[in-house]
Structure 1
Amino acid sequence: MILPPQHPLAAGRTTESRLVRAYRGERSDTTPVWFMRQAGRSLPEYRELRVGTRMLDACLDPAMAAEITLQPVRRHRVDAGIFFSDIVVPLKLVGVDVEIQPGRGPVFGRRYADAAAIAELTAIDPASLDERAEPIREAVARTVAELDGIEPATASGASDGSGGATPLIGFAGAPFTLAAYLAEGGPSKDHLAARTLMHADPGAWRALMDWTADLSGRFLRAQVLAGASAAQLFDSWAGALSLGDYERHVAPASARALSHVHDLAYATGDADASGEPATLAVPVVHFGVGTGELLGAMRGVGVDAVGVDYRVPLDVAAERVGAGVPLQGNLDPALLAAPAPVLEDAVRDVLRRGTAAPGHVFNLGHGVPPETDPAVLTRVVELVHEAGA
């Protein structure tokens, strides 16, 4: 499917952005940078806005979700916004009983750890998300409209004068992470319920994974069609798996989720070898926590770039994912509280190791800790832009 002409990629507003070029494996004037969980508790403006509003209510309020997404872009001058949402939002939208409890995380009204419970859950048609996702589409559209007026920053902090817009990244939880929460009924340290189910009842497990894959895929697709210029699949808990279990029981579902966005493309304005209008697919990135042994398999599910957590140096990750694959990452979030010289050396080390990949998007190796000083994040952005230039 060719994106409509008003889409930021189709209109050329984000096509040559640092982020999109890096995901294509290209280098630009400097290394692009954004942070996972950049929109959130580390910002005083976020905490002020969220007073009295529950997390999922904030995610489903288009004006609030858009404003939260934009806050770190305005403050830090990062090269991308990441859509403010939560991995359980699509579950909530289709009627699953789930709430996010402060200090604990997603908690479900029941567990889905046996064939009967999973049959009941998967009776919900994932396609029903399409008509219930209007708050998501509206929030993305609001965000993109504001991002159109925010040009990328130069190393000095001023707009670079390119006339381009800051791109938005769409976001969804990977099937395994959703399934892990559903099987446990909430957070878990070892995800034992999910791992047991995949071996004890492979049929029920496959049904659960196919269902979560289609739900996540449709959630991602809705964001891209509404204006996101890239899509990230986030697998928080895949690091609990062996490579064999990942390849057999998880990777097919992740590939299925991403199949919902693989057909989305935009015209480049050029012609291909046959004389037909040339197109490029919307870039897709996959990130997981503790997935150093899975990086090659994660690349294999059909992504353009691979996110790397802080446990594996980027030059080592480049060898594991294979030649020609752009990388994203991977400063240890703990370093944000380190003395300035230590942090600056670490930033430069990540940038140096990132040259092992054809394209590099600087990020943390996991999310921004809530207690992070926002001024430190702004300084990291400046360092990346200065050193990358």
Structure 2
Amino acid sequence: MNDTFLRACKGEKTDYTPVWIMRQAGRYLPQYRKIRADMDFLTLCKTPEKAAEVSIQPVDILGVDAAILFSDILIPAEKMGLKLRFLENKGPKFGNPVRTLNDVKKLRVITPDEDVPYVLETIKILRKELKVPLIGFAGAPYTLATYMIEGGSSKNFLTTKKLMYAEPEIYTSLMEKVTETTIAYLSAQVIAGAQAVQLFDSWAGSLSPSDYKTYAFPYAARVVKALKQTGVPVIYFVNDCAGIVDLASAADSDVLGICWRIDLKKAVSTLKGRASVQGNMDPCLLYSPKSTIEKEAAKILKKGAAARGHIFNLGHGILPDTPVDNVKFLVDTVHQKSTWKQQA
């Protein structure tokens, strides 16, 4: 097995910089769109053979150094008791969002073997077929809770913040259940065969640094601490992280994933060798000419070289109409331009 990704997570020497891409199994790939033409998104997530197939596609097509489980961060929330739908071109919607203490009391902490057997079966299939490491994942408690409170995506998270500030008992009760579920969910993924896990805090940047420290960080840190006990590398991805990278690093994850809004050199300096770093090309750069992609990739590789370990990635998920040829070019460029490590 190619374990370059795992070694970079642990800060061990690698011959080149490993690369994978958030949302690498997705709509930009014609092979994915062909499968999606026959089934809706949620059905695909819950069909292990097909979910495994789309998880493998970017490994075969792009040559990335890790696969990530094809699923969705909202799957656990559905099994906690919310009615989840994915509306075409509108995203996820919960029919019964969490707004009251009674709503929270109705939720339950999931039992993964019983509630999400299809996720665990997908992992088992992938482990038999992959020759690169498999990453499991979940939404960080704050990010998952925002969807559960808002009833879907949000531009300003007003309902979440109203609950957070005005109804702290409700907010805290919800976060406790979400945190317990997230720990159980990720732990089950590791038992099923995931060789690393990523915690997505996609909306952490919606909070001020002080609010992040109070309302989001403690719960994410609990998940990281619990998962580190499994022995697999834990990646904590924090979107819009420029103002909170130092706080986020205190979660003590093996890898801190960062967005493109912070200079990688600054992030590496802030980490002071406490963790490896993952990132951080702007996804929009993949629409650029290849000469620009090559130049920007080289800049990121140079800055990442000072880190304990560097995993090349985008600063957020790849966009749906990204040219596949440009993505393949990026992966090849990262591999070719980081082979200097062999002589280091």
Q: Aligning the two structures, in what range does the TM-score lie when normalised by the shorter sequence?
A: over 0.9
Q: Which residue of 2 aligns with 1:202?
A: 168
Q: Which residue of 2 aligns with 1:364?
A: 314
User: Aligned pair count?
Assistant: 339
Q: What is the DSSP-based 3-state SS (H/G/I as helix, E as strand, rest coil) of the residue aligned with 1:293? A: coil
Give 1:333 shift.
Answer: 0.8
Contact kept? 2:42, 2:86, Cα under 8 Å: yes
Matched to 2:128, the amino acid is A
Give 1:113 shift.
Answer: 2.1
Distance 2:110 2:285 in 1: 42
Once the two structures are superposed, residues 36-79 of structure 1 have per-residue CA deviations (whole angstroms, 9 ceiling, x without a partner) of 00000010000001113121111111001100100000000100
Distance 1:191 1:319 in 2: 31
1:319 aligns with 2:266: no
Q: Which residue of 1 aligns with 2:96?
A: 110
1:34 aligns with 2:13: no
2:127 aligned residue (144, 148, 157): 144
Give 1:320 shift.
Answer: 2.6
Contact kept? 1:324, 1:357, Cα under 8 Å: no
1:98 aligns with 2:84: yes
Contact kept? 2:279, 2:314, Cα under 8 Å: yes
1:18 aligns with 2:4: yes
Q: Which residue of 2 aligns with 1:263?
A: 229
What is the correspondence of 1:66-105 to structure 2 with a 5 Å cutoff?
Answer: 66-105=52-91
Matched to 1:207, the amino acid is S
Q: What is the DSSP-based 3-state SS (H/G/I as helix, E as strand, rest coil) of the residue aligned with 1:71? A: helix
Q: Which residue of 2 aligns with 1:352?
A: 302
Q: Which residue of 1 aligns with 2:342?
A: none
Distance 2:163 2:271 in 1: 29
Once the two structures are superposed, residues 169-191 of structure 1 have per-residue CA deviations (whole angstroms, 9 ceiling, x without a partner) of 11100111111111111111011
Give 1:198 shift.
Answer: 1.1
1:132 aligns with 2:115: yes
Going from structure 1 to structure 2, the CA distance change for 1:333 and 1:76 (only over 3 Å counts) comes to same
Q: Which residue of 2 aligns with 1:277?
A: none
Give 1:328 shift.
Answer: 0.2
Contact kept? 1:23, 1:283, Cα under 8 Å: yes
Q: Which residue of 2 aligns with 1:293?
A: 243
Distance 1:328 1:284 in 2: 12
1:54 aligned residue (31, 34, 40): 40
Once the two structures are superposed, residues 309-351 of structure 1 have per-residue CA deviations (whole angstroms, 9 ceiling, x without a partner) of 0111111111233333210001111110111111110000010
1:284 aligns with 2:267: no
Contact kept? 2:76, 2:110, Cα under 8 Å: no
Gaps spanning 5+ residues in structure 1: where? 1-12, 151-165, 265-280
Once the two structures are superposed, residues 133-191 of structure 1 have per-residue CA deviations (whole angstroms, 9 ceiling, x without a partner) of 211111001011110xx3xxxxxxxxxxxxxxx10011100111111111111111011
TM-score, length basis structure 1: 0.84
1:212 aligned residue (162, 178, 182): 178
Contact kept? 1:136, 1:222, Cα under 8 Å: no
1:183 aligned residue (134, 146, 149): 149
Contact kept? 1:314, 1:356, Cα under 8 Å: no
Distance 2:167 2:81 in 1: 25
Distance 2:175 2:301 in 1: 36
Matched to 1:86, the amino acid is D
Q: What is the DSSP-based 3-state SS (H/G/I as helix, E as strand, rest coil) of the residue aligned with 1:208? A: helix
Identity %: 39
Distance 1:297 1:180 in 2: 20
What is the correspondence of 1:244-255 to structure 2 with a 5 Å cutoff?
Answer: 244-255=210-221
Going from structure 1 to structure 2, the CA distance change for 1:130 and 1:302 (only over 3 Å counts) comes to farther
Gaps spanning 5+ residues in structure 2: where? 340-344
Distance 2:144 2:164 in 1: 14
2:209 aligned residue (243, 250, 257): 243
Give 1:127 shift.
Answer: 4.0
Q: What is the DSSP-based 3-state SS (H/G/I as helix, E as strand, rest coil) of the residue aligned with 2:319? A: coil
Distance 1:167 1:69 in 2: 12
Matched to 2:233, the amino acid is P
Matched to 1:133, the amino acid is V
Give 1:92 shift.
Answer: 2.2
TM-score, length basis structure 2: 0.95
Contact kept? 1:104, 1:187, Cα under 8 Å: no
Question: In angstroms, what is the RMSD of aligned CA positions?
Answer: 1.4
Contact kept? 2:80, 2:110, Cα under 8 Å: no
Distance 1:187 1:43 in 2: 24
Distance 1:338 1:225 in 2: 41
2:259 aligned residue (306, 309, 329): 309
